[in-house]
């Protein structure tokens, strides 16, 4: 499989890079949601701010987890989940930016 080419350290570095990308996308979403909330104060926007904040905390804690623990299988799972989350956040940011 492709993951064997990179080794455990490579998988961890890739997973950390993906999580940094997720943090960047979530920061952009938070900026847009807070900007929107200042213009129109509705509960839905507060929910979006809380949602993005929770995912931001998850991404930050995931980086800490990857640094502290050395497990190949967890690194792979985090990498795959991080890639899927990155794609989903990219789509969400595009939709939010357009509207």
d(CA 99, CA 84): 23
The model's confidence at residue 73, banded by pLDDT at 50, 70 and 90, is confident
Residue 72, both tokens: 């190949």
Q: What is the pLDDT, as a whole number, of residue 6?
A: 65
Cα–Cα distance measured from residue 91 to residue 22, given in angstroms and rounded to the nearest whole number: 12
pLDDT in tens, 42-68: 989 999 999 999 999 999 999 999 888
Where does residue 15 rank: exposed (0-12), middle (13-18), buried (19+ CB within 10 A)? buried
Question: Mapped to the 3 state alphabet, what secondary structure does 11-37 carry?
Answer: HHHHHHHHHHHHHHHHHHHHHHHHHHH
Q: What is the pLDDT of residue 47?
A: 93
pLDDT of 37 higher than 80? yes
Kindly state the percentage of the chain with pLDDT values over 70. Answer: 93
Q: What is the DSSP string of 38-55?
A: HHS--HHHHHHHHHHHHH
User: What is the C-alpha to C-alpha distance for residues 99 and 92, in angstroms, rounded to an integer?
Assistant: 11
Taking the alpha carbons at both ends of the chain, their separation in whole angstroms is 41
At 4 the pLDDT is: 60
């Amino acid at each position: 499989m492709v993951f064997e080419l990179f080794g455990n350290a490579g998988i961890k570095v890739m997973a950390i890079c993906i999580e940094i990308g997720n943090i960047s996308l979530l920061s952009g979403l938070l900026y847009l949601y807070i900007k929107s909330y200042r213009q129109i104060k509705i509960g839905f926007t507060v929910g979006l701010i809380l949602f993005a904040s929770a995912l931001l905390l998850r991404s930050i804690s995931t980086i800490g987890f990857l640094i502290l623990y050395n497990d190949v299988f967890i690194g792979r799972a985090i990498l795959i989940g991080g890639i899927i989350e990155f794609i989903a956040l990219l789509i969400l940011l595009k939709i939010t930016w357009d509207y």
